[in-house]
């Protein structure tokens, strides 16, 4: 986030850089690991595909509001800046603080997948399982896994401090390799003799906890399948409810708006392409995992990495390498992109007095928000400490933060259209629809609804949310008198 001598941000990012930031943030570890962990058991092949397509459609609708607002307020901060100009100080702080949660939780979330990547690729060697270890929620955490993940977090944090242009180039390389790996895997799934539509049942997923408790296998998994209208609706909503997490990343584009060296008219196209690419990767990876494994329910209940096994079944060692490269690029691009978005959001909030001035300190040599980046690194180191079971908790925190950001952006669009007397009737309708869906996401995540299983927060996620609110309240009371007029 370099500044020139006039105190303005230098325009260093081209459209490819910005697309890579958005796509790299959208596709992280989840698209490669969640087919077995969440998507297939909760929603099956059909439920996941429907939920992801619906989610992409909703995100594109919401993206229309972003495309309208960026030229109006082309400043770092994105949704925070929009809300500040339309609704005032306290709503802006609320929006900004939850956006920090949406972006920053994705960094430790990606870091916890690093150990899983190595475990999946090294077979029985277990090269990272050394040193002291302990257990969190039934998962063993080893010093070797922690050290590797922490090292990568620190390395990429330092790269962001060195300069945004270098980070943008690295992000473009990683995102491009990720797209190539996903497309190659999809083609293999289409032409492989091992792929079969028969393998996709139960197509709406199944009750994983009940099946494990009963000692079920693939042979009788149908007894626990989601069936009937209520079961199908639950299956779709279980994945649709986390669409804000799945697609969070396209909204990081406004965070770097001051650094664009191209027309703002390209913003909508860049966001839409990133969302559609993301939808393809999520849906393709999930479908390939089921199609290539005749006994995928057994693999899911055993906690195995089903997509890795499916790729190896279809393509042998090359398949294993393909997944290794793809998920590594996804994880690293996610870390890079969310570091960039988080630090710029916190810098923007500090610049206007919403966070302590310490967060707004610019590095004297590289002209980047060094202290905000250091804070992001410190918080992100919690991921390797908490281990893989924290993945679901971070997903929930990211989902609620993103949903709040979407809600404020759509509402700000309606206010800004009225204030400037521009926009179109179509945009007004789309912003209103986006506002309704954003509210629905928040309700689905926070409110337990009878009959809808696996949709709302778990206990640990509620605890994390409460802790984040308490920390935010402390900062609010400290900084309220400093809020920019």
Q: How far apart are CA 44 and CA 114, in angstroms?
A: 26
pLDDT at 235: 92
- Residue ranges of domains in the chain: 15-482
Residue among 83, 33, 93, 20 nearest 341 (CA): 20
Residues 6+ apart with CB under 8 A from 187: none
Q: How far apart are CA 12 and CA 21, in angstroms?
A: 13
Q: How far apart are CA 252 and CA 255, in angstroms?
A: 5
With residue 135 as reference, give the H or E element that holds it: strand 133-136
Q: How far apart are CA 345 and CA 422, in angstroms?
A: 28
- Please state the φ and ψ torsions of residue 139, each to the nearest 5 degrees: -110, 130
Question: Buried b / exposed e across 257-282, counting CB within 10 Å, b at 16+?
Answer: bbbbeeeeeebbebbbebbebbbbbb
Q: How far apart are CA 321 and CA 313, in angstroms?
A: 12
Look up tokens 């639950």; give the residue: 234
Q: How far apart are CA 189 and CA 313, in angstroms?
A: 10
Q: How far apart are CA 120 and CA 307, in angstroms?
A: 10
- Please state the φ and ψ torsions of residue 193, each to the nearest 5 degrees: -70, -20
- Please state the φ and ψ torsions of residue 205, each to the nearest 5 degrees: 85, -175
Residue among 305, 337, 298 nearest 324 (CA): 305
Bridge partner residues of 206 (DSSP): 225
pLDDT at 46: 95
The encoded tokens of residue 158 equal: 């330092």
Residues in the chain: 485
Task: Encode 428-440 in three state secondary structure.
Answer: HHHHHHHHHHHHH
Q: How far apart are CA 392 and CA 365, in angstroms?
A: 39
With residue 423 as reference, give the H or E element that holds it: none
Question: Buried b / exposed e across 85-119, counting CB within 10 Å, b at 16+?
Answer: bbbebebbbbbbbbbbbbbbbbbbbbbbbbbbbbb
- pLDDT tens for the chain, 485 residues long, are 444 444 444 566 778 888 888 888 888 878 888 898 889 999 999 999 999 999 999 999 999 999 999 888 877 678 888 999 999 889 999 999 998 888 888 888 788 778 878 887 777 778 888 888 888 767 788 889 899 999 999 988 888 888 666 767 788 888 899 999 999 999 988 887 776 666 788 999 999 989 999 999 999 999 999 999 989 998 999 899 888 888 988 887 777 666 677 777 888 999 999 999 999 999 999 999 998 888 899 999 998 889 999 999 888 889 988 998 998 898 888 888 888 888 888 888 888 888 888 888 887 777 778 899 999 999 888 888 877 666 667 778 888 888 999 999 999 999 999 999 888 999 999 999 999 999 998 888 888 776 666 567 778 888 888 998 999 999 888 888 877 55
Residue among 313, 378, 388 nearest 117 (CA): 388
pLDDT at 114: 81
Report pTM: 0.85
CB atoms within 10 A of CB 39: 33
Q: How far apart are CA 263 and CA 269, in angstroms?
A: 11
Bridge partner residues of 142 (DSSP): 133
CA dihedral 401, 407, 410, 412 (to 10 degrees): -90
| CATH superfamily of this structure's domain 15-482 | Amino acid/polyamine transporter I (1.20.1740.10)
pLDDT at 389: 66
Residues 6+ apart with CB under 8 A from 93: 349, 354, 472, 476, 483
């Amino acid at each position: 986030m370099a500044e020139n001598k006039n105190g303005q941000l230098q325009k260093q990012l081209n459209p490819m850089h910005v697309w890579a930031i958005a796509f790299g943030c959208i596709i992280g570890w989840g698209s490669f690991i969640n087919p077995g962990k969440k998507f297939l058991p909760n929603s099956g092949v059909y439920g996941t595909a429907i939920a992801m397509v619906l989610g992409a459609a909703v995100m594109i609708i919401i993206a229309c509001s972003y495309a309208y607002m960026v030229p109006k307020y082309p400043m770092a901060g994105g949704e925070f800046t929009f809300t500040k100009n339309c609704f005032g100080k306290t709503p802006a702080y609320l929006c900004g603080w939850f956006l920090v949660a949406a972006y920053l939780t994705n960094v430790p979330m990606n870091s916890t997948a690093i150990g899983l990547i190595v475990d999946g690729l090294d077979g029985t060697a277990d090269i990272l399982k050394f040193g002291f270890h302990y257990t969190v929620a039934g998962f063993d955490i080893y010093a070797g896994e922690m050290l590797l993940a922490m090292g990568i977090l620190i390395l990429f944090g330092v790269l962001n401090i060195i300069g945004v242009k270098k980070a943008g180039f690295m992000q473009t390389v990683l995102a491009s390799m990720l797209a190539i790996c996903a497309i190659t895997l999809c083609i293999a799934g289409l032409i492989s003799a091992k792929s079969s539509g028969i393998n996709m049942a139960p197509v709406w997923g199944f009750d994983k906890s009940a099946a494990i408790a009963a000692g079920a296998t693939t042979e009788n998994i149908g007894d626990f399948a989601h069936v009937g209208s209520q079961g199908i609706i639950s299956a779709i909503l279980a994945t649709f409810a986390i669409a804000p997490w799945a697609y969070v990343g396209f909204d990081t584009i406004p965070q770097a708006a001051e650094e664009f060296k191209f027309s703002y008219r390209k913003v909508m196209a860049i966001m839409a392409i990133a969302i559609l690419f993301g939808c393809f990767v999520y849906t393709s990876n999930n479908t390939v995992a089921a199609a290539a494994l005749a006994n995928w329910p057994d693999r899911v209940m055993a906690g195995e990495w089903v997509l890795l096994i499916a790729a190896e079944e279809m393509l042998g060692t090359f398949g294993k390498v393909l997944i290794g490269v793809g998920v590594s690029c996804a994880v690293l691009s996610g870390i890079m992109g969310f570091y960039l978005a988080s630090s710029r959001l916190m810098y923007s909030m500090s610049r206007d007095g919403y966070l302590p001035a310490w967060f707004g300190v610019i590095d004297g040599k590289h002209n980047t928000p060094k202290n905000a980046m250091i804070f992001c690194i410190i918080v992100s180191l919690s991921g390797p400490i908490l281990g893989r079971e924290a993945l679901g908790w971070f997903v929930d925190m990211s989902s609620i933060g993103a949903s709040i950001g979407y809600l404020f952006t759509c509402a700000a669009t309606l206010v800004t259209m009225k204030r400037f007397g521009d926009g179109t009737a179509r945009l007004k309708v789309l912003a209103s629809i986006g506002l309704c869906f954003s509210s629905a996401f928040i309700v689905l995540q926070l409110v337990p609804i009878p009959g809808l299983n696996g949709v709302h927060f778990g206990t640990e996620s509620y605890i994390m949310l409460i802790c984040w609110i308490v920390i935010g309240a402390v900062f609010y009371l400290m900084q309220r008198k400093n809020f920019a007029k």
